[in-house]
């Protein structure tokens, strides 16, 4: 998968393809390319020498393809018969959509989408019910039907009669990268032109019944056809025996009184998700772009070159979509959409020194800086001898086993997530990238690529730098040091105190930059001293800052050093900042850092102090709940509720948030 992506990227820089046409090819042909790779794998099958360079996950996925393809073809024949003679109205209804794609294309989409979704298991809850290692069936069914629907649209776009749409999209994207669309008159004219031609471009929508039937049908076919080898000791002969087991299984889970269907992957498959390359199952429509994104001229035309989706994240809410469309048609979104375009035009690259450190840690299999270990090494709780007779011992053991299973599932999920990020960074190692953006209902912007972006976790942020640098200037070194101190959790100190912290650790900074991952760290030497950058709260960003600061200080003129590091600055509870400003609330403004002060204020700590004072008063009066909460409250418990209060959190929702934090 990585080599195929690198090959495509290489053609961009050898001018074999124009950048926009290459991006379009990656988006459109992502399933065709995967199909070709899987067929090549199946051709090599039987020759051990030819199979040595093919990962186990890819070999397994390719093996399922012919069986699933045959099942899809049989169903399409039944659909065609039903459409001709009217013998099955339900099959005839969804069959007109299912027959729009060839069986191989449908089969490869089904395999890749399910593999992509199952490689991430959501974090387990602390419900008393044992958790399955899987996803809700409805999530997978919706994702499958959406992927099929989108591919039908892309298939139509490839036809000669629709090539004018592609040409128009690329033309508008080029115009955006030139900066001309930030002239509102030009933007308005292009938006009106796009709306006039949009009716013939829009794909017919599927009702929920059609989506559910098609997604469920394909998922059941995959469950039937996907098998993997597992080995066990035959109880009669004692010999090690091989058998083919289902790769996916369907079960049920009870959550908050409701019964949900769940799809779980076989334990052997989950282990492959943690160790094997996952790039082969990543859709190019979920990756960063090679060229500037298509500008947002209307509510549903922007981002990737060939995929139309709303500029606002909407979860099955037709009313929100209607309001969004009305605002767009009334020309009320231009400034907002121009902001999304500006963010999308930012050019990014991989931070090579940080990537080298990440790769060394990843290959070692050790747990370092929140990169999870290759294996879950916590021993399983011992079953008590009086398990059957002692109710308390049995209950305690079950709770311990539940927590152990939840922790193991969480480690697996984190390892798979890290695998995605490392492989995507490897694929884009020598090439620039862009992140198309959309927004949530508050107007807050987010990158569309879900697995790897600059607003991701500490690992993502540490691996990214701006592609184009700027000289630090007179104040650049000052803010670089402030940034490094913040990453070590010193953000509540005054600026002078933060500078003192950094200046007193210059030797540690230089040592971290010169040898970030010593061999003793990954070889398991328990007595070896850990590198200083690992003491930071955000370790990978701290390492990136150490490397940048060391390079700047060693340059002949630090003010002229061209830095590419991105420095994040966050507001203090932005919602309360707006309320304080609108209400001219000087006390509230001081709490959220809108007023001058010697050191940063923390509104969450202020709220916590008030809550603690009230609890102390109640506990003195003998209130049982207050007595139980004494000395147990932390800033983390109140932070989420204070943040979401300005966004309309309900009383029940706030109680659930606090209860969840208390359980933690």
Tell me the per-residue pLDDT of 258-281, one tens digit each, with 9 for 90 and over. Answer: 888 888 888 888 877 766 655 555
The set of residues, in sequence order, having a beta carbon less than 8 Å from that of 197 and lying 6+ positions away, is 168
> What's the pLDDT score for residue 223?
94
Closest CA to 485 of 614, 375, 562, 600: 600
Least confident of 279-283, 314-318, 355-359, 517-521: 279-283
Retrieve residue 425's tokens.
């960074």
Contacts for 24-29: CB closer than 8 Å, 24+ residues apart: 24/166, 24/170, 24/305, 24/306, 26/284, 26/287, 26/290, 27/154, 27/284, 27/285, 27/304, 27/305, 27/306, 27/307, 28/154, 28/157, 28/158, 28/306
Retrieve residue 415's tokens.
């390892």
User: Which of 14-18, 137-141, 457-461 has maximum average pLDDT?
Assistant: 457-461
> What's the pLDDT score for residue 123?
44
**Strand extents, DSSP E, 534-651:** 562-563
CB 60 within 8 A of CB 271: no
Least confident of 140-154, 272-286, 398-412, 584-598: 272-286
Q: pLDDT by residue (tens digit) across 471-504?
A: 999 899 999 999 999 999 998 899 999 999 999 9
Is the pLDDT reported for residue 95 higher than 80? yes
Q: pLDDT by residue (tens digit) across 584-627?
A: 999 889 989 999 888 888 888 888 988 999 999 999 888 888 88
> What's the pLDDT score for residue 281?
57
What CA–CA distance (Å, rounded) separates 652 from 654?
5
What share of the chain in percent tops pLDDT 70? 84
Q: Can you say how many angstroms the Cα of residue 574 is from the centroid of all Cα atoms in its chain?
A: 24
Tell me if the pTM is above 0.95. Answer: no
User: Which of 31-35, 327-331, 356-360 has maximum average pLDDT?
Assistant: 356-360
> What's the pLDDT score for residue 419?
86
SS3 sequence of 446-471 = EECCCCCCCCCCHHHHHHEEECCCEE
What CA–CA distance (Å, rounded) separates 379 from 384?
15
Is the pLDDT reported for residue 341 higher than 50? yes
Is the pLDDT reported for residue 142 higher than 50? yes
* Mean pLDDT taken over the chain: 83
Least confident of 3-7, 188-192, 303-307: 3-7
The set of residues, in sequence order, having a beta carbon less than 8 Å from that of 189 and lying 6+ positions away, is none
Is the pLDDT reported for residue 282 higher than 90? no
CB 596 within 8 A of CB 586: no
The set of residues, in sequence order, having a beta carbon less than 8 Å from that of 148 and lying 6+ positions away, is 97, 98, 101, 106, 109, 214, 215, 218
114-117-119-122 Cα dihedral, nearest 10 degrees = -140
What CA–CA distance (Å, rounded) separates 193 from 430?
38
Q: How confident is the model at residue 127 (pLDDT cuts 50, 70, 90)?
A: very low
**Rg of the Cα atoms in the chain:** 28
Higher local confidence (pLDDT), 155 or 493: 493
Is the pLDDT reported for residue 551 higher than 90? yes
């Amino acid at each position: 998968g990585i080599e195929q992506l690198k090959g495509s990227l290489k053609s961009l820089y050898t001018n074999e393809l124009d950048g926009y046409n290459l991006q379009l090819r990656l988006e459109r042909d992502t399933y065709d390319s995967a199909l070709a790779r899987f067929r090549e794998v199946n051709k090599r099958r039987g020759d051990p020498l030819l199979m040595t360079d093919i990962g186990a996950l890819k070999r397994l996925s390719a093996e399922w393809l012919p069986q699933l393809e045959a099942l899809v073809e049989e169903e399409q024949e039944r659909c065609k018969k039903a459409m001709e003679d009217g013998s099955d109205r339900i099959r005839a209804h969804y069959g007109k959509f299912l027959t729009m794609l060839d069986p191989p294309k449908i089969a490869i989409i089904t395999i890749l989408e399910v593999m992509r979704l199952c490689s991430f298991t959501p974090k387990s809850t602390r419900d008393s019910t044992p958790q399955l290692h899987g996803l809700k069936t409805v999530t997978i069914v919706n994702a499958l039907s959406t992927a099929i629907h989108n591919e039908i649209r892309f298939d139509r776009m490839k036809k000669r009669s629709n090539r004018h749409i592609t040409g128009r999209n690329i033309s508008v994207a080029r115009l955006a990268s030139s900066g001309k669309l930030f002239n509102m008159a030009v933007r308005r004219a292009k938006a009106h032109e796009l709306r006039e031609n949009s009716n013939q471009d829009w794909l017919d929508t599927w009702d929920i019944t059609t989506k559910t039937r098609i997604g469920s049908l394909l998922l059941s076919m995959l469950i039937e056809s996907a098998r993997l080898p597992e080995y066990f000791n035959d109880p009669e002969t004692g010999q090690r025996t091989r058998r083919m087991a289902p790769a996916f299984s369907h079960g049920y889970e009870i959550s908050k009184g409701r019964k949900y269907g769940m799809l779980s992957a076989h334990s052997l498959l989950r282990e492959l998700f943690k160790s094997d390359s996952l790039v082969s199952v990543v859709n190019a429509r979920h990756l960063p772009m090679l060229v500037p994104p298509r500008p947002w001229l209307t509510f549903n035309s922007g981002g990737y070159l060939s995929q139309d989706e709303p500029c606002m994240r909407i979860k099955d809410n037709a009313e929100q979509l209607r309001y969004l469309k009305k605002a767009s048609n009334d020309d009320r979104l231009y400034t907002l959409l121009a902001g999304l375009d500006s963010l999308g035009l930012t050019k990014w690259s991989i931070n090579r020194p940080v990537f080298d450190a990440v790769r060394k840690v990843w290959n070692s299999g050790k747990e370092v800086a929140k990169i999870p270990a290759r294996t879950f090494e916590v021993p399983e709780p011992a079953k008590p001898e009086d398990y059957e007779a002692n109710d308390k011992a049995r209950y305690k053991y079950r709770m311990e086993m539940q927590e152990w299973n939840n922790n193991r599932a969480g480690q697996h999920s984190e390892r798979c997530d890290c695998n995605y990020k490392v492989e995507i960074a490897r694929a884009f190692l020598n090439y620039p990238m862009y992140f198309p953006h959309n927004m949530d209902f508050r107007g807050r912007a987010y990158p569309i690529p879900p697995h790897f972006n600059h607003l991701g976790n500490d690992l993502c942020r540490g691996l990214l730098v701006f592609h184009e640098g700027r000289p630090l200037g007179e104040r650049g070194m000052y803010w670089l040091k402030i940034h490094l101190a913040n990453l070590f959790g010193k953000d509540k100190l005054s600026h002078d105190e933060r500078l003192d912290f950094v200046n007193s650790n210059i030797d540690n900074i230089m040592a971290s930059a010169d040898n970030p991952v010593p061999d003793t760290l990954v070889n398991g030497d328990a007595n070896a001293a850990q590198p200083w950058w690992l003491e930071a709260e955000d370790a990978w960003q701290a390492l990136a800052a150490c490397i940048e600061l060391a390079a700047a200080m060693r340059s002949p003129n630090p003010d002229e050093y061209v830095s590419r590091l991105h420095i994040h600055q966050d507001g203090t509870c932005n919602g309360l900042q707006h309320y304080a400003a609108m209400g001219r609330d000087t006390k509230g403004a001081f709490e959220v850092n809108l007023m001058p002060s010697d050191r940063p204020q923390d509104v969450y700590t202020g709220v916590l102090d008030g809550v603690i004072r009230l609890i102390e008063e109640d506990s003195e009066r003998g209130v049982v709940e207050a007595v139980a909460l004494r000395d147990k409250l932390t800033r983390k418990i109140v932070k989420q509720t204070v943040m979401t209060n300005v966004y309309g959190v309900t009383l029940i929702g706030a109680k659930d948030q606090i209860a969840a934090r208390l359980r933690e």
